[in-house]
Amino acid sequence: MESLIEKASNILKKLGVDGYDIFGVEGKGSTIEVKKGEVEKIKASSSQGIAIRVLSNGQMGFAYTNDVSEDGIRIAIECAKENSKVSEPDDYIFSSPQENFFDVILEDPEFEKIPTERKISLALELEERAKSYDRRVDKVRKASYSDGKSTVYYLNSNGHSFKYKTTSYSLSISLTAREGEEAQSGWDYQSARFFNELNPSEVASGAVISAVELLGAKPLKTMRVPVIFKNTVFAEIIETLSSAFLGHNVLRGKSLFKDKLGREVASRSLTIYDDPFQKEGLGSCPFDDEGTATRKKPIIERGVLKNFLLDLYTARKLKMEPTGNGIRASVGSPPTCGITNLVVERGALRLEEMIKTPKEVILITDAMGIHTINPISGEFSIGINGIYFNDGEKVSPVSKMTVAGNIKELLKGITEVGADVKWMGNVCSPSVLIKELTVSGE
């Protein structure tokens, strides 16, 4: 791949292109699914791709190819040049050579040595542990193991180049618990950078508990009540909300935070970082996908909006410094603003202590429709399942209820942030306690 990228660079130089960058990815991975003690699916995959951007007379052209032969790359270069001719001139630049003091190990050296049999046994162990954890587990729908390894390459016309390697692993399971005629679903997931960090016992118990604790659930009457969003649920909320932090949405006026920089937008209990230096975070990287050195930066710090997440283009348009957040969704997508790892800073309270803080509280363990939160107005209405507590004691599980309001109210209503952090891919969050929200039921 490196020699092909160098050849592509030489072709571009000979063509007299004003500026260019070349982004390449090599990847491989596997997925294993088991059910009823048998392997249902084994899938191995590999991919290669190169993306090319060219800049001519202020016009940007983009093309990519999965054909990484010399001919394939030549065709991609020609396509990028042609595409530049029909784009509007704009304020584009490419990154310059820069240092990054990145000392996080992103690659598991054991990746190539792990036999398929060991991966299968881990998935089977996950299923078996879930089935034996509680007699009410009626059915394991699917237990899965997956892994991946990627090598990222970058080179541009300013002489800036780098490469780095990453690995990732995950376990997930979905199941059903039954008591009498009633059934409830449960699910859990774990991601890791290194194979030996996977914990099938933890994932199995998490899935079983999430199903069993909802047996007997029913809606309560509509009330205004303190609410705890469990760590997995609040991670989803923050991930959905992240679009409001992105520079291109701020530039287009499609962010509820567009004019809030330096102002209080949340409770002083809340701090959120974009942090590419987290070993556990699957978005960790020394440079972003257009060559800007990454760095840890606060987005919301003690309730105050401190930064937007910017690529090179939006930084110039907003007259701000780039933050190292030029991210490509895939090799076939040009870079745009995105997150590395979103990390909600943990607090001091364990979940059990947080539950005892208000007289009554609903712990939301599952939510439906989080993706419908409006990133411009902040309005939301999501379906929830959870548990109602009074004086710290479990009263009843609840289901088929709705929490509605505005994300601004939710963020400013946070009174406690827990210590029970959970990673969900590239988002990490603890549970959080909200002073009051309207919970609708019967």
Determine, yes or no, domain membership for 195.
yes
Quickly list DSSP for 12-36: HHHTT-SEEEEEEEEEEEEEEEEET
Asked whether residue 396 falls in the same domain as residue 428, the answer is: yes
Answer yes or no: is 328 within a domain.
Answer: no
Is the overall model pTM greater than 0.75, yes or no? yes
Kindly state whether residues 181 and 101 are assigned to the same domain.
Answer: yes
Is 282 part of any domain?
no
Q: Are both 224 and 157 inside the same structural domain?
A: no
Same domain, yes or no: 40 and 156 = yes
Does residue 261 come out as left (phi exceeding 0), alpha (psi in the -120 to 50 range) or beta? Answer: beta
Same structural domain, 220 and 191: no
Q: Is residue 91 part of a domain?
A: yes
DSSP assigned state of 418? B
Is residue 21 a contact partner of residue 154, using CB atoms and an 8 Å limit?
A: yes
Closest CA to 244 of 307, 326, 327: 307
Q: Are the C-beta atoms of 272 and 263 separated by less than 8 Å?
A: no
Please indicate, yes or no, if residue 396 is contained in any of the structural domains: yes
Using alpha carbons only, what angle is made at residue 102 by residues 339 and 280, rounded to the nearest 5 degrees? 55
The closest alpha carbon to 206, from 439, 434, 432, 424, belongs to: 424
Q: Are residues 223 and 153 in the same domain?
A: no
Output phi, psi for 325, to 5 deg.
Answer: -125, 35
Are 38 and 148 within one domain? yes
pLDDT score recorded for residue 158: 96
Tokens of 306: 């401190």
Q: 99 CB contacts (<8 Å, ≥6 apart)?
A: 293
Same domain for 230 and 92:
no
Number of domains in the chain: 2
Domain holding 231, by residue range, is 216-237+346-440
pLDDT in tens, the chain (442 residues): 899 999 999 999 999 898 999 999 999 999 999 999 999 999 999 999 999 999 999 999 999 999 999 899 999 999 999 999 999 999 999 999 998 889 999 999 999 999 999 999 999 999 999 999 999 999 999 999 999 999 999 999 999 999 999 999 999 999 999 999 899 999 999 999 999 999 999 999 999 999 999 999 999 999 999 999 999 999 999 999 999 999 999 999 999 999 999 999 999 999 999 999 999 999 999 999 999 999 999 999 999 999 999 999 999 999 999 999 999 999 999 999 999 999 999 999 999 999 999 999 999 999 999 999 998 999 999 999 999 999 999 999 999 999 999 999 999 999 999 999 999 999 999 999 999 999 998 7
Side chain identity at residue 131, one-letter code = K
CA distances from 314 to 90, 92, 308, 322 (A): 11, 10, 10, 8
The DSSP secondary structure of 107-176, one letter per residue, reads --TTGGG--HHHHHHHHHHHHHHHHHH-TTEEEEEEEEEEEEEEEEEEEETTS-EEEEEEEEEEEEEEEE
> Does a structural domain hold residue 199?
yes
In this structure, the number of other CB atoms found within 10 A of the CB of residue 66 comes to: 12
User: 200 and 230 share a domain?
Assistant: no
Residues 141 and 232 placed together within one structural domain of the fold: no
In this prediction, residue 101 carries a pLDDT of 87
Task: Single out the residue of 222, 243, 219 nearest to residue 372, CA to CA.
Answer: 243
pLDDT for res 419: 97
Which amino acid makes up residue 309? L
Residue 65's contacts (CB-CB under 8 Å, 6 or more residues apart) are: 49, 50, 72, 73, 75, 76
Do 136 and 232 share a domain, yes or no?
Answer: no
- Sheet of 304-305, strand order: 304-305, 297-301, 272-274, 342-344, 427-429, 422-424
Residue type, 250: V
Beta strands in 180-296 (DSSP E): 182-192, 223-229, 272-274
In a domain, 249, yes or no: no
Say if CB 441 and CB 426 are below 8 A apart.
no
Kindly state whether residue 257 falls inside one of the protein's structural domains: no
| 184 and 37 both lie in a single domain | yes
Q: What is the pLDDT of residue 188?
A: 96
Joined tokens for residue 279: 């070993």
